[in-house]
């Protein structure tokens, strides 16, 4: 691949990773599904199967959470010069989950890396395989009650597709 083609491919793959995370955080099944090839595979430890099957698993699991936020860190993308339609990646992530246990809110943090194989078919890059590695995790009682008092005027994000980020008409006129 030329240097320009490599840069364009890396940008498309980084956008792919961001769309995957947005699909998870906003419970946007169709967006998250669009990041996997139909014949893709996954291994998350708690789930092993096809990419589309994982999307169903993740969307159902995360519906029970009060909030989720996945933050992507450094993203290393490596190419095999003999196969321009295949790339490999390692993406660091920081995942926040607001859960409820025994009626009380807890914050669960899971941090690690995704190991990916990307394939370009036609002009589109998607996941051909995704494995999640967990490097560390913790769970603490939620401590953000001050949002209801000290920061009550803040505009809060939502854990679904009613989030402000989907309202293009509002943003167009803001």
Q: What is the pLDDT of residues 82-116, one digit of tens each?
A: 899 999 999 999 999 999 999 999 999 999 999 99
- The whole-number pLDDT of residue 165 equals 83
Q: pLDDT of 113-165, one tens digit each?
A: 999 999 999 999 999 999 999 999 999 999 877 666 777 777 777 788 888 78
Determine the straight-line distance between the first and last CA of the chain, rounded to whole angstroms: 42
Question: Which two three-digit tokens encode residue 168?
Answer: 């293009």
| This prediction's pTM | 0.88
Q: Cα 13 to the chain's mean position, in Å?
A: 13
Q: Which domains does the chain have, with CATH numbers?
A: 3-173 (3.10.450.50)
């Amino acid at each position: 691949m030329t240097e320009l083609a490599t840069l364009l491919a890396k940008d498309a793959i980084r956008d792919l990773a961001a769309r995957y995370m947005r699909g998870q955080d906003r419970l946007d099944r169709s967006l998250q599904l669009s990041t996997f090839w139909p014949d893709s595979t996954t291994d998350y430890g708690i789930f092993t199967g096809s990419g589309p099957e994982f999307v169903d698993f993740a969307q159902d699991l995360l519906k029970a959470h009060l909030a989720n936020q996945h933050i992507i860190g450094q993203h290393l993308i490596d190419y095999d010069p003999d196969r321009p339609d295949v790339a490999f990646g390692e993406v660091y992530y920081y995942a926040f989950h607001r859960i409820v246990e025994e009626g009380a809110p807890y914050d669960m943090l899971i941090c690690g890396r995704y190991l990916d194989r990307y394939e370009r078919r036609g002009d589109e890059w998607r996941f051909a395989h995704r494995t999640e590695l967990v490097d560390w995790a913790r769970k603490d009682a939620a401590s953000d009650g001050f949002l209801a008092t000290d920061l009550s005027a803040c505009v809060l994000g939502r854990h679904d597709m009613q989030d402000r980020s989907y309202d293009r008409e509002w943003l167009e006129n803001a």
